[in-house]
Amino acid sequence: MIGKAMQDAMNEQINKELFSSYLYLSMAAYFEGRNLPGFANWMRIQSDEERGHAMKFYDFTLGCGGKVTLKAIDAPRTEWKSSLEVAEEVAAHEAKVTASIYSLYELAQKEKDYPAQVMLQWFITEQVEEEKNAAEIVATLKLIEERGTAVLMLDHRLAKRKGE
């Protein structure tokens, strides 16, 4: 049976993951409006993944005999100055999510909630990937700004060389 403190924290996290999904869907819509279907596709899939994260917390809470209480989801931002600004916001947002997963893990340790600790380990690993993906997009967009696409295309070609 999940304790009250852990249950409340899980409900908070469900809200945060649903907000992430909403924010990324808003970013997808922004890219659609700028004729960047590839970026929009990435954000839309990311949005779906965030809903999946929310559902993992939802199922875990119910599975441990807890109560799920959904709260209002904040309205996400709808306008950005550039693709780079969007990518930087994704990176900053993921860093905040990581901090929140770490807090949940610390609470699970304090509460001696071992099932929650095991479940949260999946999220700790997932956040490493999420932060890495966002950082890579930020870095690539900065390179395009600094050096132009031709250099990046050449770099892509050179990366394909295989040793004998």
54 and 18 in contact (C-beta within 8 Å)?
yes
User: CB of residue 125 vs ligand FEO: minimum separation in angstroms?
Assistant: 12
Q: From the CB of residue 119, how many other CB atoms can be counted at a distance below 10 Å?
A: 20
**Residue of 40, 97, 107, 116 interacting with ligand FEO (CB under 6 A):** 97
Q: Which is nearer to ligand FEO, 113 or 130 (CB)?
A: 130
Residues 32-91 that bind ligand FEO (CB under 6 A): 50, 53
Q: Which two tokens stand for residue 59?
A: 């199922």
- Which residues, numbered 120-159, are part of the site for ligand FEO (CB under 6 A)? 130
SS3 content of the chain, % helix, strand, coil (to 5): 80, 0, 20
Q: How far is the CB of 127 from ligand FEO (least distance, A)?
A: 6
> For residues 47 and 42, what is the distance between their CA atoms, to the nearest angstrom?
9
Residues that bind ligand FEO (CB under 6 A): 17, 20, 50, 53, 94, 97, 130
